[in-house]
Amino acid sequence: MGHTPDSGREYRLLRRRLDSFATGAPDSPALAKILRLLYSRQDAGLAGKLSGRPTALAVLAQRLDLPADKLSGTLSGMARRGLVIDLEHNGTRYFALAPIVIGFFEFTFMRARPDTPMDELARLFDEYMETDDRFARAVFRGQAQIGRALVREEALPGGGDCEVLDWERASRVVESASEIGVSLCACRHKESHLNKACNRPLKTCLSFGYSARSFIHSGFAEPIAARGAMKILEDCKLAGMMQIGDNVQKKVAYICNCCGCCCGMIRAIRTFDIRDAVVTSNWIMEVGRACKGCGACLKACPVGAIKLSEERSGGGLGCRAVRDETLCLGCGVCPSACKSGALSMKPREQP
C-alpha cells in the first residue's frame, strides 16, 4: 500500500524555522492559513531552508546545490512578495528569511496589493495577533525589544536644546540618513481592511539607509527626500501620533509614526499589559501645579498611562492628572495636548 504525500510538511517545517527566530511564531490555525496564502508549496520548501541572517547568494547556492542564477531569480521573486529579505552590500547579494515581524506581516501591508487577498489576510493576521497573547508574548519575550520610543524634541526643556543624544532625535535620524523610503503604515493598512482603522495619515512608515534601499528595491517603499520625511513627522505629530524607532543607537533602520488604536506594539501594551513591549525614551512626563484636570492628556496618551485623580484644593474638590510611571513611554505627546502648559518632560532617574 503506497504512502500519501504529506502536503503540509513544508509548511510545518517553515513554521518551526520561523518560531526559532527571536520574535517567534507560535502554532495556530490562523498562521497555517496565512502561510498557505503567502507561500506556494515550493516557496515554503525553499524558505524553510533559509536562515534569518543575511547569507550571500553564492553560499546559499552551494548549500542548497542549486544554480546561482536560478536561485537568484526565485529568491528575488519571493523578495518582491515580501517572503524573504533581499540586500546588496559591496556588489554582493544577500538573502534572509523574513520573520513574521518585522517581516512578512509588514511587507504584506506596506503597499497596496490588488493581486493578493488582503481582506482575508487582514482577518487572519488580526486573529493570530489579537485573539490571545501567545504571539505578542513571543515577539516581546526577549530583553531587547524591536522598538523604542522617540521623545518629541519640542516637548523637551528649552525646546530640545538640553542634552539629548543624536540617536534619540527623530530629526537627526532623518537628516543623517543616506537614503530614505516611505511606505504605508502596515498596522493601519491592515485595520483599514477590517474597517477598523482611524482617520490618521496612512503613508507614514519611514525607512533609512540599507533598509530603505532594500525596501525600495523590492517595491515596499518609495524614495523620499529628507525634507519630505520631516514633513511626514510634523504632520503625524499634529495628528497626535508618537514616534517609535529601531531599538539601536547606530544605523537606525526605521521610524514608525504610531497611534494608540492601530499600532501592534502599542496594542501589545494596552491589550495584553506587556509593559516593556516598547523601550521607553530617556525622558518621562511630569505633572505641574498648573494642571486643571481637563483630561486632554488622557485622550492624547497613546498607551493610557495617565489617569485623573480627585483632590481637594482651595476648599473645593477638583481633578488632577496622574502619570503611571510603569506605563509612560516618554514620547512627549501629552505636553503638546495640554493647553495649560502643566505637563513637561524630565530626564528619567534611570536611563
Q: All domains of the chain, ordered by start, with CATH?
A: 9-137 (1.10.10), 145-279 (no CATH), 283-351 (3.30.70.3270)
d(CA 164, CA 162): 6
pLDDT value for 144: 79
Question: Residue 316 corresponds to which cell in the numbers above?
Answer: 473645593
Residues 6+ apart with CB under 8 A from 109: 118, 122, 184, 186, 187, 189, 190
pLDDT tens string 28-74? 999 999 999 999 999 999 999 999 999 999 999 999 999 999 999 99
Q: What letter does residue 154 receive in the DSSP assignment?
A: G
**DSSP line for 86-114:** EEEETTEEEEEE--IIIIIHHHHHSS--T
Q: Do the Cβ atoms of 168 and 151 come closer than 8 Å?
A: yes
pLDDT value for 49: 97
Can you list the residues of the chain whose pLDDT is less than 70?
1-7, 143, 159-167, 312-317, 351
How many angstroms from the chain centroid is the CA of residue 237?
A: 17
pLDDT tens string 175-204? 999 999 999 999 999 999 999 999 999 999
pTM of the model: 0.92
